[in-house]
Structure 1
Amino acid sequence: MSLPQPLFIGSEIYRGSSYGEKHPLSIPRVPTVIDLCRAMDWLPKSQYRVSPMAKPAALTAFHTPEYIEALIDAEALGVVSDETRDRHKIGTLSNPVYPEIYRRPATAAGGSLLATELLVNCGIVYNPGGGTHHGMADHAAGFCYLNDPVLAIESFLAQGLTRVAYVDIDAHHCDGVAAAFHGETRVLMISTHEERRWPFTGELEDQAGAQAINLPLPKGTHDDEFQLIADSVILPAIQAIRPEAIVLQCGADAVAEDPLARLNLSNNSHCNLVKSLVPMAPRLLVLGGGGYNPWTVGRLWSGVWATLNGFEIPDRLPEKGRAVLAALSWNRQRGERPDYLVDTLRDAPRKGSISKEIRHRVQTLQARQRVWV
């Protein structure tokens, strides 16, 4: 099937919005991707859609009305009570009260819900502002106030789809999505994530009602190991269920330079998986997620958009593209910034031998798949 041109969903609400100066999400992310893709002439107006802000009623497809009301009140008042903080986990160090505490996550969720409408027949949609996979039904968690992947999958199911694959390659396990779809036979969840890292869920043995594949990654996992995982676990599992839609959470915190993880992937791992997933379902929704180094996030997510469109990524960025990255700053930067983070878009591959741990985990999951697929 010939798919229409991919669509990019963005919003100006992300420009200048921050969780606070000392928070890991003080950095610009979606605006960098928009600016860099435009500088590369990769983002014409015909492929760009402005994300709407999801209405409260739409958010209650997963979240409780009381929680949505608490977010709206927190934005209006600028503070929360001790009771609200304890009950809904907002106003904490991880999930602080900030000026757009409701509008920004509601816009990310609105983008993912719009994507499912645009994908009602077929296509590819990219919403880099989405991917907030830790949000729970009645409380915030892990920098996530709402859970747009869950809302998007619920929307696909409401359209009548019965085979949806959710793939998550963020460095942190997608505990909110796992909780939402535990035992749901219409959804296959596949997650790779760094082992022994918050939220400390997603063990290899956790099958979530036999509809989940969790593959914890040892510290230092590199491109060759991830390619083995993709070829031996992720892609065969998706091919086996013949999904009607794929939702990919493409967290950028799994690359080597991220400050909140200790994996050793290059952005080639993400782009290679994206390229492999494109022909595997008539509907593909690609989301952002984690990522706390402004240069690696902007480069990776721009590279994902290039991959979705089949654009050639140059060895060296033209001056207009380089200027976007050169203008970034980061108050958490340690040492000198490597030149390649400004001069290039594609990382050098990070190769190595396959560890015994990775081989064992892959073989364990392959044996399990032969039983339930």
Structure 2
Amino acid sequence: MSRTAAPRLIGSEIYRGSTYGPKHPLAIPRVSTTLDLIAALGWLDPARYIDSPRATVAELTRFHTPDYIAALQRAEATQQVNPADRDRHRIGADGNPVYREIFSRPATSAGGVLHACRLTAQTPGIIHVPGGGTHHGMPDRASGFCYVNDAALGILAWLDAGLTNILYVDIDAHHGDGVQTAFHDDARVFTLSVHEANRWPFTGAADDVAGGHAANFPLPEGATDTDMLAVLDHAITPLTR
């Protein structure tokens, strides 16, 4: 039987006080609140906590274009965005605001996911990265409040480590369009998304199978735990066998 590592958690203090703005849908300090709650309830041995590294430019450009990463760095340094970068990379547009850590925060999220994937490639186990999951990011632009697609970068890290049969399961309310698009033609990666139907980005229809490498389960608004368990039992679990 293969050895399995104890569960671990990767977090960072960069999320504390970092905000997209008071009126933004992501104004709630979700990550720092989650980390504080886990600590207060004693759910995790402090020895299993890992401080997230920050992804390097070289690591980020494994998926994203150099021009886009440079534009994020410029936006953080100047706290503004020029018209060309706004139009080309959607920084400061479409609900993707310029904020204090516009490069360093997503780079930290990506660094945490990359570290988790490299650790699990060596030894199987469960690692939670509450700052990750920015699945809408595209190679050359921000999308859906996501500046860096840490999920795509993590999958690429697994592929680079030699894994060739990857199942990506996405249960966000929105379809994981950025990840599905990234691996649309890669038979080594199967993407599965359970999301709310008729909701932005309005992709991920039930008949969208991405050339045979994806499954999408759009659920109606108000879907219950029973609905989610049915998808788990009849759709997700069979794919793992």
TM-score band w.r.t. shorter chain: over 0.9
- 1:3 corresponds to: 4
- 2:68 corresponds to: 67
Please state how far the C-alpha of 1:4 moved relative to its aligned partner: 2.0
Instruction: Give the Cα–Cα distance (whole angstroms) in 2 for the partners of residues 195 and 42 of structure 1.
Output: 34
Instruction: Give the Cα–Cα distance (whole angstroms) in 1 for the partners of residues 118 and 94 of structure 2.
Output: 35
- 1:114 corresponds to: 115
Q: Any stretches of 5+ residues in structure 1 without a counterpart?
A: 240-373
The one of 137, 140, 164 equivalent to 2:139 is: 137
Instruction: Give the Cα–Cα distance (whole angstroms) in 2 for the partners of residues 231 and 39 of structure 1.
Output: 33
Q: Structure 1 stretches (4+) deviating beyond 3 angstroms?
A: none
Instruction: Give the Cα–Cα distance (whole angstroms) in 1 for the partners of residues 43 and 225 of structure 2.
Output: 26
- Residue type of the partner of 2:240? I
Q: Does 1:128 align with 2:125?
A: no
Instruction: Give the Cα–Cα distance (whole angstroms) in 1 for the partners of residues 159 and 94 of structure 2.
Output: 35
The one of 185, 191, 195 equivalent to 1:189 is: 191
Preserved CA contact (<8 Å) 2:94 2:144: no
- How high is the TM-score relative to the length of structure 1? 0.63
Please state how far the C-alpha of 1:93 moved relative to its aligned partner: 4.8
Preserved CA contact (<8 Å) 2:172 2:195: yes
Q: Does 1:91 align with 2:67?
A: no
- 1:229 corresponds to: 231
Residue aligned with 1:123, SS: coil
Q: Does 1:17 align with 2:54?
A: no
Instruction: Give the Cα–Cα distance (whole angstroms) in 2 for the partners of residues 238 and 190 of structure 1.
Output: 12
- 2:170 corresponds to: 168
Could you say what the CA RMSD is over the residues aligned between the two structures, in angstroms?
0.9
Q: Any stretches of 5+ residues in structure 2 without a counterpart?
A: none
Instruction: Give the Cα–Cα distance (whole angstroms) in 2 for the partners of residues 121 and 38 of structure 1.
Output: 25
Preserved CA contact (<8 Å) 1:3 1:122: yes
Please state how far the C-alpha of 1:203 moved relative to its aligned partner: 0.6
- Residue type of the partner of 1:170? D
Instruction: Give the Cα–Cα distance (whole angstroms) in 2 for the partners of residues 154 and 177 of structure 1.
Output: 11
Instruction: Give the Cα–Cα distance (whole angstroms) in 2 for the partners of residues 36 and 215 of structure 1.
Output: 31
Please state how far the C-alpha of 1:3 moved relative to its aligned partner: 2.0
CA deviation vs aligned residue, 1:144-198 (integer Å, no higher than 9, x gap): 0000000000000000111011000000000100110002100111101111100
Residue aligned with 2:212, SS: coil
Instruction: Give the Cα–Cα distance (whole angstroms) in 2 for the partners of residues 130 and 91 of structure 1.
Output: 21
CA deviation vs aligned residue, 1:11-64 (integer Å, no higher than 9, x gap): 000000000011011111111111111111122221100001100010011000
Instruction: Give the Cα–Cα distance (whole angstroms) in 2 for the partners of residues 219 and 29 of structure 1.
Output: 23
Residues 144-163 of structure 1: matches in 2 within 5 Å?
144-163=146-165
Instruction: Give the Cα–Cα distance (whole angstroms) in 2 for the partners of residues 43 and 222 of structure 1.
Output: 29
Instruction: Give the Cα–Cα distance (whole angstroms) in 1 for the partners of residues 74 and 22 of structure 2.
Output: 23
- Residue type of the partner of 1:58? E
Instruction: Give the Cα–Cα distance (whole angstroms) in 2 for the partners of residues 3 and 47 of structure 1.
Output: 14
Please state how far the C-alpha of 1:2 moved relative to its aligned partner: 4.8
Preserved CA contact (<8 Å) 1:184 1:209: no
Please state how far the C-alpha of 1:121 moved relative to its aligned partner: 2.4
CA deviation vs aligned residue, 1:201-225 (integer Å, no higher than 9, x gap): 0011111010100111111211112
Instruction: Give the Cα–Cα distance (whole angstroms) in 2 for the partners of residues 14 and 179 of structure 1.
Output: 28
- 1:359 corresponds to: none
Residue aligned with 1:25, SS: coil
- 1:102 corresponds to: 103
- How high is the TM-score relative to the length of structure 2? 0.97
- Residue type of the partner of 1:29? R
Tell me whether 72-81 or 116-125 shows the greater mean CA deviation. 116-125
Residue aligned with 1:85, SS: helix
- 1:40 corresponds to: 41
- Residue type of the partner of 1:10? G
**Percent of matched pairs sharing the same residue:** 54
Residue aligned with 1:24, SS: coil
